[in-house]
Structure formats: structure tokens, C-alpha cells
Structure 1
Amino acid sequence: ADLFNKDIELEELLAYKTTHKAGIMAQEYIQRFLKRYNRHGDEDALIHWDAFIRVPERLASHSGTRVAMIIDEFQDLKFYIYDMSPELMDSKDRLNGFGAINLPATYDRQAQSRKAPMLVSGSAVTLIFRTVMGGPLSGRFGFKYIKPMSIPDGATLLHQTLKYYAPSLMITPKLALYASAQVGGHPYYLYCLAVSDYEDKGFGDEKAIDQVIRYEIENGKIFGFWQTHFDDNR
């Protein structure tokens, strides 16, 4: 319970007192990983990664404590896990500039584990579908599309999001339902409306809401999301 919902460094986990068999084994794995990680440079990043992602399955096998690996925004593993110097990218023929371009393929064994099963998710549906259903991971994952929220739930989300991100702005329940309906109850789109940079942002009537939505589609975060999505999938 002391570790729940906290940002924890690996070194801090080593200092955590536990008598649980799985916890003790996890600390042993962490200690070996840190020793190897601190001894080698960036050129061995993929080796570090390969060794570390096997830990949950090994831990579950040896300790008898089963775990689940849950990774959100899995499509980002195609691009953003670690940085590499331009010289190292060139030496490995990574001309597109992404040092971690094939990392999802390293999950080919973990994806089928019965002791540390994986659940991956992501909002870029087309991209994550291609990532987990094709290439080296083909046949190892099932696929389940999670629909957007219902319109009333989306309206509630917009209410709560505005309270947090834009407390000076008010929206009536009726207009919140209208905004939710206009974006199909999509939680990310509702978030984009709440944090929009539109200069005259307001939610006082349907016209004002339509203006915020139009800005987001043409210039804002919704536009940026899909622009990136299409660029990555050409």
C-alpha cells in the first residue's frame, strides 16, 4: 500500500523492506539489472531492455505469484522508448531517426505467457492494431475494440475536466450533453475541448461549443493527434 500511486525509482525499491518471496526475488532482479545498466552505455540499451522485460514472467514462474503486464499507449513503443545518438543510429542503419523502432517485437514471448499475461491498449486504433496484430506479434494477441463513453458519461467527464483544467468556465448539463454528442463521447476529444487553447473558448451556448470544436479539429490537439497518426501510417 505504501507504494501505490507513487513515482518510484528502482533504487528506492531496493531499499523497501519486504518478507514476501516475490518481493525479495524482484529486488534481486533489480539489483542485477542496475549493476549491468550502470556498467554499460547507451549502445547496450536494447540488451538492457530485452533482459528487463522478461522479469515479470520469470518472477511469476519462480515465486508462484502470477502477475499481469498492462501497458497503455502501446503504439508508442514503436518510437519513443529511448534516445540514441545520431552516430549510433547511422551505425545501426536507423535512418528514420528512431532508435527503438522494433521494440514491440521483443514482446513475442511475453505476449503468450500464461504466468504473466499481457494487456495492451492505445487510443490510436489503426496504429496499435498494426503493431500488435502484424509482424513478429502476429497471432499472439486478440483484439477488442473499446467503444467511446456514452453521451451522458461523456458529459459528466467534461464537467469534471473543466472543474480541474478551466475552473473559471461554466457549462450547463444540457450543453455538456450537446458537447459530448458532438464528439461522440470520445474521452480524449472531450479532454481537448476542456484544455483547448482557443482564444475565445467558452461553453455558454451551442455556437460557442461548435467554435471550440472547429478550432480543435483545424488547429488544436485533435488536429495534431490525427496529423501525427497519418504521418506515422503513410
Structure 2
Amino acid sequence: MLRIPKKLNFALEEQVGPPELFVGRQKEFSWFLGGWYDNLIRGKPKSQAIVARRKKGKTVFLQRLFNVHWTAHNPEVIPFYFTIPEIRTTQAEFAKLFLRALINQLVAFEMNEPQLVTKPVAFEEIPAITQDPVYLEYHRALLSYEKISNWNMMWDSASRAPSEIASLRDLRIIQIIDEFQYINEYVVDQGGKVIDTMSGTYLTLAEQRKAPLIVSGSEVHWLLRIVNGLVGRFDSWSMENWPEDEAKQAVIQYAKHYQTRVDKEAIEHIWKLTQGDPLYISQLFSSRHNEKKNFTDPLVITEVYEKEMKQGGGIYGTWMEYMAKIFKDVNESNAKRIILYLFQQARECTRAEIIQDLKLKESEQQVQEKLQALIKADLISQGSGFYRYTISRDKTYEWVFRGAFQEEIDHFVPDIRSEALSQMGIRNYEIGLFGEFKLRRKLQKGFYLNEIAKNGPQIWVDPHPIQERVPKKIENQTFEIDLIVESDPEIWIEVKTLKKKFGKTQLRRILQLHQALSKTAKAPILFVYAPGGFTKEASEELQKHGILYGM
């Protein structure tokens, strides 16, 4: 087992930014620095494929894994990190890019020169940084094959270099290759045609015990198709959200970095809202809409989060990358209807159910092709059977989709903010509990009456204990008071619904309470809080009777 050094040397720059923003991943480290590492030392590792959608933290984990090995600096275990570019690249250039990165990093590790990792020299300049005859022989081989336009041999030589060097020198070279799915999509031959069999290189190389691979990719089903094609060569590792303890630690770290106030309740709310998704937590704090820098108010959390889920937001943009790819290739309208249907059903559905309930006019084969296309785009998933389908229980994904398309599909505009509040655990806010919660936060800090009430005097009230839902017997009548501020005089507060305006029906009870209080020796201040607003008649009556009101 390899222990993570207390102080890391960051030879490879990490996309996470400041190192303290890397949080958790204990489960992953326990395997890749524990059982898998032990197997590597014993000469029996198996290549691994880490799969997860975009911005789940795969890349930053692999970069941190590289830096852990770099810092530990076991001379017999050398990490090698390479990202396959998402651009069209000739096979010749790809081979040179790969070998350039490999030799730069091997020399960097041997000489403890991290700048060769962050700023590798060009392929042509490799002889200037090393006189190692083995490295130079690979360099000369690629140049020779390039002169005779034998691009296949260029890649063959480059791809075999890690395992051959490891075997020759009795080393372990950990090949960490990010965005592996692009290997079959962007490398072209001399005629400009994509070589969709490039991954076949690893049918043999993935089994080389001294240079195993750890590959990752953000197009889940795309990568799995490649890995499954390399039968038995890779074990798949699904990178999930942070577990609760790590997610809450991430909230604390991000709050500190982005100078945003959080407390215990805010941390709990953000956990429930994001379910520990690294993208969602990161976007919430880094958002340009996080102007108030105060997430102790749940409304501020939902306000920022909602904007991130709309056009222009980072969460919206990430999900739209997936949707845009598929909607241009299939019947867009029906594809959207299928996704919404699966969200609404919240269970596995058969192809027959989908066709029947949505009254699709396409043939079973056409619907099947559409469903498979949605699976390949990582928008839905295969269920327990070949003709059964389901969709992620990711509420944020659902909100992004429904916010963008539901009105178009079934003419219904979803109340995303209300649902987000419910997801955070504020489930009964529509009947006043959330308005009560928000108001209580304000009252606990001390306040001027005219800050909370439209018709309140400019009188300061120091922080006092606040009672909730207190039954009070007055003149043989019992009234339950939502909030009582134990000041002198006391302030009795009635909290009404968020959505409906305070009107005639609610007014009747308040006037009854006011009348009963008027007969007492020391009447409290009566205040009505209605975030939904007041009807004209209600506001005039409250004003007339000297009852404070606000929203």
C-alpha cells in the first residue's frame, strides 16, 4: 500500500485549481493506492477504466494520483499522464505527441525536474534533454518511419514504448490516459479518414503487467463500448458523487475559498440539493450570481442554483453538451418526450409502455434506435432488461431538462425553485414554514420594526429568544401564534403562505385576535408576515387597526 505523502509536490498542474479544493475520494485512493498498487508491485495488476459523466472529478483525481506517485518517488514506479486531445490529429502527429509526453515525463521523474512535465520540450528537441540510448532509439525510430510515411509503425512503436521500457529496466510505468474515448474518434490516417480501430492497439498492451493502464472518459457509454470491445482487458470503475461526509467537507472548503458564509444548516441544505455532485457544488460557489456571498439563507442558495440551471449557467451548459449531440441526430420532439416521460414515471419502463403511453407513431425498430441513441448520449440508461429503460434520479439533471423543455412538450411551466426548496428539506414552506424560517433568521440578529413591517415605527428590537407555534388562551379563545419574540413588549407574528396574497379570509382571524388582545392589560405588538403580499383591502384594514404587516 502506498500512503499519500503529507506534503505533495505538484509536478502536474491540477485542473481543480488551489490544491485545497481537492476533497475526498477516499474510496478511489483506497483501491488505487491499496489493493491495485499491491497487485502492481506483485506483477499482477489489471488495467482499469474510470467512467463518469463530465465534471464528476475524474481528471482531477487522475492528476492527483499522478502527483501522489511523483511525490512518493518510488524509483521503480513511474507515473505517466497523457490526455487524448479532442481535435483531429494525424496518426503520425498523435504518435509523436504520445512519445514526446512519455520521454519528457520519464526524464523529469529520473532527474526530479517537474518543469518537463508542465512544459515538455518539443518532440524534435528530445535529444537536448537526454542521452539515454533507449529513449533516443524510440525517437529515431519515429523519425525514420515518418520519412517513409509509415504512420502505422510510428504509432506501433510509440504505443509499445511504455511496456517495453518498463520490461527492459524492470520498472512499473502506470499509464494514466484521460479522455480515452477520443482515441477512436479524432485520429486520422493519411487519407484524412478517422481510424476507428485505434483502441485495438490495447488488446495486447492493456495486459502488459509492468505498464498497466488507468483510462478515463466523460462519454460514459462511448468509453464503455471501447472498453467492452477490449474483452477482459479492463475492469470498469464508476466514479460516483462524493459521499455525504466528503461532500460536506467540500462545501466547507469551497465556501472558504469563495468567501461565502455557510453554517451547519446551509451545509445540510447544499448536500441535499446537490447530492454531493462535484460539478453542482463547484458551480454553486463559483457562480457569478453568488453576489451576496451568504448561503445561510436558503432562498439565496436556490436563487443562485436556479440561475446556474438556466441558459448561461454552468450546470445548464454541461447538460446541454450531452443533449445537443443527440437532438440533432434523432427526432428531437419525440426524444424529449421520452426523457420527460421517464422522469415523470420515476421507474423502469418497457419499450412497449413508452410507445403506448406516448402514442408514438414510429415503428418499434425506429423507437428502439432512438432509445439506444439516448443511451449512447448518456441521457437515459438501460434497465434490467434489453427492452427496459430508466433515467438517472439526479434531480438537478431533471430540473435542467424540464426547465428547458417541459413547457414546449406539455405546456406546463415547472416551479423549479419550489422543488429545489423541497429537495433541501424545506418541504412545507408553501403553508408558511419556510417563510417562518426565513423571517426567524432575520429576527435572531436584532432589527428595526420598519425593516420588517411596511407600517412599522423605527424602533430597534434587540435579539431575544423566539418561541414557535405557541398556543395562547385569550378571552376563552385559544390562538396558535406562529412566532413570539420575547421582547418588551412581546411581538406576536402570524406567518402566512408564500404564494397566495393575504386577503379577506385570513384577515378575519387576525382581526379576531386583535380584538381579543385589545382587552388585555399589556397587549403585544401584532405583526402579519405574508411573503406572497397583501390585497388592497387587507392592507387597508391592517393599517386601520394598527396591525403591522410586511412581506
Task: Check whether TM > 0.5.
Answer: yes
**1:106-163 deviation digits (Å, cap 9, x = unpaired):** 3222222222111112344333223312x3x132211122332223322433454566
Paired position in structure 2 for 1:32: 141
Q: Is 2:294 the partner of 1:185? A: no
Find the partner of 1:207 among 292, 295, 299: 299
Q: Is 2:161 the partner of 1:55? A: yes
Structure 1 range deviating more: 45-54 or 182-191: 45-54
2:241 alignment partner, SS class: coil
State the 1:56 CA deviation: 0.7
Distance 1:27 1:157, change over 3 A: farther
CA distance in 2 between partners of 1:62 and 1:140 (Å) = 23
The TM-score normalised by the length of structure 2 is: 0.33
Paired position in structure 2 for 1:114: 209
1:119 alignment partner, SS class: strand
CA distance in 2 between partners of 1:26 and 1:158 (Å) = 45
Paired position in structure 2 for 1:96: none
The question of whether the paired residues in 1 share the 8 Å contact of 2:145 and 2:151 is answered with no
Q: Is 2:172 the partner of 1:172? A: no
Distance 1:200 1:12, change over 3 A: same
**1:50-94 deviation digits (Å, cap 9, x = unpaired):** 4311211121222322312112232333434x5789xx44xx3xx
CA distance in 2 between partners of 1:74 and 1:193 (Å) = 29
Q: Is 2:126 the partner of 1:3? A: no
The question of whether the paired residues in 2 share the 8 Å contact of 1:216 and 1:223 is answered with yes
Distance 1:194 1:7, change over 3 A: farther
CA distance in 2 between partners of 1:171 and 1:113 (Å) = 51
Quick one: which amino acid aligns to residue 33 of structure 1?
L
The question of whether the paired residues in 2 share the 8 Å contact of 1:202 and 1:212 is answered with no
1:109 alignment partner, SS class: helix
**1:184-213 deviation digits (Å, cap 9, x = unpaired):** 212233233344355868553322222333
Distance 1:59 1:190, change over 3 A: same
Structure holding more helix per residue: 1
CA distance in 1 between partners of 2:288 and 2:151 (Å) = 38
Distance 1:223 1:14, change over 3 A: farther
Higher Rg of the two aligned structures: 2
Paired position in structure 2 for 1:95: none
CA distance in 1 between partners of 2:181 and 2:252 (Å) = 29
Structure 2: segments with no counterpart, 5+ residues: 1-111, 327-375, 378-551
Q: Is 2:224 the partner of 1:129? A: yes
CA distance in 2 between partners of 1:115 and 1:65 (Å) = 7
CA distance in 2 between partners of 1:45 and 1:198 (Å) = 50
Distance 1:221 1:57, change over 3 A: same
CA distance in 1 between partners of 2:172 and 2:321 (Å) = 37
CA distance in 1 between partners of 2:170 and 2:253 (Å) = 41
Distance 1:206 1:171, change over 3 A: same
Aligned residues: CA RMSD: 3.5
Q: How many residues align?
A: 211
State the 1:222 CA deviation: 3.0
Distance 1:48 1:213, change over 3 A: farther
Structure 1 range deviating more: 198-207 or 188-197: 198-207
CA distance in 2 between partners of 1:60 and 1:191 (Å) = 39
Quick one: which amino acid aligns to residue 260 of structure 2?
M
Paired position in structure 2 for 1:75: 181
Paired position in structure 1 for 2:235: 142
Q: Is 2:305 the partner of 1:196? A: no
CA distance in 2 between partners of 1:222 and 1:45 (Å) = 41
Distance 1:25 1:191, change over 3 A: farther
CA distance in 2 between partners of 1:223 and 1:139 (Å) = 37
The question of whether the paired residues in 2 share the 8 Å contact of 1:72 and 1:122 is answered with yes
State the 1:45 CA deviation: 5.8
Quick one: which amino acid aligns to residue 25 of structure 1?
V
CA distance in 1 between partners of 2:293 and 2:225 (Å) = 38
2:173 alignment partner, SS class: coil
The question of whether the paired residues in 1 share the 8 Å contact of 2:255 and 2:262 is answered with no
Quick one: which amino acid aligns to residue 192 of structure 1?
Q
Quick one: which amino acid aligns to residue 16 of structure 1?
I
Distance 1:190 1:124, change over 3 A: farther
